[in-house]
Amino acid sequence: MTTPLLLETSAVAKAFGAVVALRAVDLRVRPGEVHALLGANGAGKSTLVKILTGVLRADAGAIAIHGRPVALRRPADAQGHGLAPVFQDPAMAPDLSVAENLRLTRVDVPAVRRHLSDMDLGQLDLGEQVRDVPLPFLRMLDLARALAFDPQLLVLDEITAALPPDLSERVFAVMRRWKERDRAVLFISHRLAEVRAHCDMCTVLRDGRDVASFVPAEGGEGQIVAAMLGEAATVVREEARTRSATAVDVGDTALLEARNIGAGRHLEDVSLAVRAGEVLGLAALEGQGQDVLFDVLSGNRKADRGELVVDGVTVKAHHPFDVIRRGVVLVPSDRLQALLPQRSIRENIAAPLFNRVTRWGPINGREEGRRIDEAVQRLSIDTRAASQVRRLSGGNQQKVTIARWLARGLKVMLLFDPTRGIDVGTKHQVYDLVRALADEGAAIVMFTSELREIGLVCDRSAVLHNGRIVAELPADAGESALLRAAHGLETVPA
């Protein structure tokens, strides 16, 4: 006798008005399996997750758990059947403490603490306000909360997208434990290397349908990309981007320079300089001061010591506007903080343009429209739900956070994990775009939690450990050298 499937969906469908998110999805997850759910941005993955966890109701189709048909009308039904999610975006109210948030969801708080300790995160303070907790730790808290329900099927919607290597490893350890207990994990990620390393099976969605199901480790990444993108797969190129022949000359003077920056116990004597035409990569494990450094560089936080110099002028930054008005723009880690969720794509991209009104007189409407269209096109933003960005898929929201600055013109761009949640088809567009901005004369600082990206787009990198820059490496240093430096170990001289 074969054991029944842990989860089976048949012809599940869901539309939002005119937008068809899911046409007909069949998904089969076995006990003891880590099952990847794959697909390009907007393919319907998060919509399926919300149906499986009772947040949304399917328009049609059937769901069975352990061989029995179930009705998932509300989150409590899903919980009762042993399904617990970590959603794509953090699910905690920012103005409450973590503990208050946990109490609201009636989760067993001691169990949450136990799971945190098991993941070596026992030091996290549950009394802290959610808005003060860095995004990666919030994701780990969401995971601990899901685990506290002791689910049969743990559903992880892009949990690793915001996690540096050290924290991702802890998630993989949890996934292995869940398998060993003959339970299952449904794992969503755009990082194909981790899918191939940690998933036993995968199902690929395209345009709201399941188009393929196979063992991801067997074929190459090409097999996954082909299933995800169909015809469009041929344009994906995994190659390092270098300065183009037509690029502006890298000047002698830095467009952005940080001199001996110190901030509380987070940063100590950090100096860096980026010139026009350069892309500087920044690598770090979680909690090494990277978020504080970006806050200082973007004028969101005043350094205690040191100087910030933009294009030769020392900025006494008291407000992000002092920095923005000198042409320094930020793509932050938390897209919800950057966007106006109730507003349209168009309004979100136009918002930074309004600053121009005060400086150079009003920009004309048609010109603005043209620039916005160009930015939407350059990043292939899915405009099917364009009237409110909160209705866009996570990856498409992320693209809007980048696009909003493109229409404006800039001198220095600070990118904090810009490809978080962006699919393999569009990641290369972001890489090309970053390179093109540099070639046109911008200076770029890019933090990435995906070390591979440093070799793909950056000219050189700096590694932050314990609030200090511990290494400066050339673009081709390789992931293992970056990782060693990020752990504070000596790098082997070339």
Ligand X SMILES: Nc1ncnc2c1ncn2[C@@H]1O[C@H](COP(=O)(O)OP(=O)(O)OP(=O)(O)O)[C@@H](O)[C@H]1O
Please tell me whether residue 452 adopts helix, strand or coil conformation.
helix
394 contacts ligand X (rule: CB under 6 A): yes
Indicate the residue among 51 and 102 with the shorter CB distance to ligand X. 51
Indicate the residue among 41 and 203 with the shorter CB distance to ligand X. 41
391 contacts ligand X (rule: CB under 6 A): yes
Q: DSSP string spanning 405-467?
A: HHTT--SEEEEESTTTT--HHHHHHHHHHHHHHHHTT-EEEEE-S-THHHHHH-SEEEEEETT
End-to-end CA distance of the chain: 59
Indicate the residue among 47 and 223 with the shorter CB distance to ligand X. 47
419 contacts ligand X (rule: CB under 6 A): no
Indicate the residue among 257 and 423 with the shorter CB distance to ligand X. 423
Note the Cα 34 to chain centre separation in Å.
21
Q: Which does 278 bind (CB under 5 to 8 A by kind): Mg ion, ligand X, none?
A: none
Taking residue 125's Cβ as centre, other Cβ atoms within 10 Å add up to 11
> Which region among 1-9, 35-43, 173-181, 342-350 touches ligand X (by CB under 6 A)?
35-43
Indicate the residue among 205 and 258 with the shorter CB distance to ligand X. 205
- The binder of ligand X chosen from 272, 392, 413, 485 (CB under 6 A): 392
- The binder of ligand X chosen from 5, 8, 41, 152 (CB under 6 A): 41
Indicate the residue among 46 and 168 with the shorter CB distance to Mg ion. 46
DSSP β-ladder status, 468-474 and 328-331: unpaired
- The binder of ligand X chosen from 39, 151, 164, 277 (CB under 6 A): 39
**465: region left, alpha or beta (phi > 0 left; psi from -120 to 50 alpha):** beta
Residue of this chain nearest to Mg ion (CB atom): 46
395 contacts ligand X (rule: CB under 6 A): yes
Interaction pattern, residues 116-135, with ligand X; x per rule: CB under 6 A: --------------------
136 contacts ligand X (rule: CB under 6 A): no
Locate 33 and state its tokens: 């399996």
Please tell me whether residue 396 adopts helix, strand or coil conformation.
helix
Q: How far is the CB of 67 from ligand X (least distance, A)?
A: 27
Cα–Cα distance for residue pair 168/164, rounded to 1 Å: 6
**What value, to the nearest 5°, has the Cα angle with vertex 436 and ends 272 and 333?**
55
Q: Which does 391 bind (CB under 5 to 8 A by kind): Mg ion, ligand X, none?
A: ligand X
CA quadruple 44, 46, 48, 54: dihedral sign: negative
Indicate the residue among 39 and 216 with the shorter CB distance to ligand X. 39
Taking residue 210's Cβ as centre, other Cβ atoms within 10 Å add up to 25
The contact set with Mg ion (CB under 5 A) reads 45-46, 88, 393-394
21 contacts ligand X (rule: CB under 6 A): yes
Q: Which of 176, 178, 141 is nearest to 162 (CA)?
A: 141
385 contacts ligand X (rule: CB under 6 A): yes
Please tell me whether residue 10 adopts helix, strand or coil conformation.
strand
Please tell me whether residue 287 adopts helix, strand or coil conformation.
coil
Residue type, 410: L
Residue of this chain nearest to ligand X (CB atom): 395
DSSP β-ladder status, 460-465 and 279-283: parallel
Q: How far is the CB of 228 from ligand X (least distance, A)?
A: 10
Binding residues vs ligand X (CB under 6 A): 16, 19, 21, 39, 41-47, 88, 382, 384-385, 391-396, 421, 423
